[in-house]
Amino acid sequence: MARVTNPDAIKVAAKWWADQLRETTFDNGVPEHNAMVAMIQARMLPISEETIQNFQGKLETAIMGMDWPVLSVDYHPDQILIEIGESVGIDVEYRLPWKTSMIIRDDLVEVGKGYATPYKTIYKRRNE
């Protein structure tokens, strides 16, 4: 994979992760676990829109510099997602969807959200 330089693809990818901070669901294939996380989330303080926007901006910058533009969460987010969250004051541990992977390229951004979920295209560059 090559470094991503297309600002449109980068914005779409970062916005998708920021949107997960606004509201997300969890699917690891075990409904009891998903209910447990929902209870944990209900006790968390809300995140301000300004903080989410800061997260998104920093993530855009990070994606542009990534040598391997893949972001994922198994049960714990990738280190880059954790570090960006910490830099804006967010603990992203239970705020990003489990079993999720995103592949980011200049011409295509795909994400699989949840256990055994097929990838969905969220950005495709139009032929010019």
Domain boundaries, the chain: 7-124
Q: Are the C-beta atoms of residues 59 and 84 closer than 8 Å to each other? A: yes
Tens-digit pLDDT profile for residues 43-88: 677 899 999 999 999 999 999 978 889 999 998 999 999 999 999 9
Into which CATH architecture does domain 7-124 fall? Alpha-Beta Complex (3.90)
- Cα 109 vs. chain centroid, distance in angstroms? 12
**Cross-strand pairs, 9:** none
Tens-digit pLDDT profile for residues 21-39: 998 776 667 666 666 666 6
Consecutive H or E run containing 81: helix 79-87
Q: Are the C-beta atoms of residues 59 and 19 closer than 8 Å to each other? A: no
